[in-house]
Amino acid sequence: MGYILASVLASTLILVLFRWMQHSGAVTRHAIVVGYLTSAAAGATLFDVDWQVASQGWFWPAALEGVGFYFVFRIMALTTQVSGMTITSIATKMSVVIPTLIGIIALGESVNAYKITGLVFGILSVVLAAGASIKLANWVLPLVVFVCTGLIDASFKLFQLQGLTDAQFPGFLITIFGFAFIASLIHHVMQPDRMFNTKSTISGVALGLANLGTVYFLLKALAQPGWESSIVYPLNNFGIVLATTLTAIVVFGEHPATATKLSLCAAVISIGLLYAAS
């Protein structure tokens, strides 16, 4: 449970940073470039890395996923700034449906009353958090975030099933973030505004550390014996909905409506039920 909590806190920090950058003078694209470089460099510095990564069967799929990471991160940043932190969190966390269904249907994971009821309350918490913000015309970007995030999340478990070991985690992470950095850098040099300012650089470092923590702790949670992916993903995602909503209230001074309060209650019930199902 500790790994899931750590991943939730890191994911919430990413959304907070995106919102802060909107008003701080930081350039989101610049911060993302610095962020991916920071993620790769921090992973190489903090972890014991087996550098024979290119010989691993997962190397090129992980490299392709790294490029996808940059695409999704850019869409997440844009969605946060256009539609708000809550909507981005909703689109991202509703994507839990994709890896959960893959876990149950394709991987044969267990189904019980606690798990099903917990998922229902979790989805209810997301819908309540959205409230009147749900407008079909404004959900093009969130829909892209939903699909891409769900597929990326599901892939982590699939990588482990295909032989990714604990010892290979650091090399796997560096491969993903390294190729994400390459993709972000190529896009960056094609733009006219290439000079980094101090706020973009500082934001990028914080973003990179949070992003590394999010993926690392999620992978560690998925690798824990007895923890099915159809439990880990919902606990992680609905936990982020809860943490994001509380952060919006406490840090940004948002006044919770009745629907928001009900959303918090539903998220707490969901997490309790899913934990009982584990």
- The residue among 197 and 266 whose pLDDT is bigger is 197
pLDDT of residue 259 exceeding 80: no
Q: What is the mean pLDDT of residues 163-167?
A: 81
Residue-number span of the structural domain to which 178 is assigned:
2-277
pLDDT value at position 138?
Answer: 59
Average pLDDT of the chain, as a whole number: 83
pLDDT tens digits for 94-138?
777 788 888 888 778 888 888 888 888 877 877 776 665 555 545
d(CA 275, CA 252) in angstroms, rounded, equals 29
- The residue among 122 and 214 whose pLDDT is bigger is 214
Q: What is the mean pLDDT of residues 198-216?
A: 93
Q: How many CA atoms lie within 13 A of 49 on its CB side?
A: 18
- Which tokens is 74 given? 């850019």
Q: What b-and-e string marks burial along 61-86, b requiring 16 or more CB atoms within 10 Å of the CB?
A: bbbebbebbbebbbbbbbbbbebbbb
pLDDT of residue 147 exceeding 90: no
Residue pair 191/29 in contact (Cβ under 8 Å)? The answer is yes
pLDDT value at position 184?
Answer: 92
Q: What is the mean pLDDT of residues 260-274?
A: 81
Q: What is the mean pLDDT of residues 71-82?
A: 77
pLDDT value at position 207?
Answer: 93
d(CA 116, CA 105) in angstroms, rounded, equals 14
Closest-CA residue to 203 (of 39, 18, 11, 8): 18
d(CA 187, CA 115) in angstroms, rounded, equals 42
pLDDT value at position 134?
Answer: 54
pLDDT value at position 89?
Answer: 66
Number of folded domains that form the chain: 1
pLDDT of residue 252 exceeding 80: no
d(CA 238, CA 266) in angstroms, rounded, equals 10
- Which tokens is 162 given? 């295909």
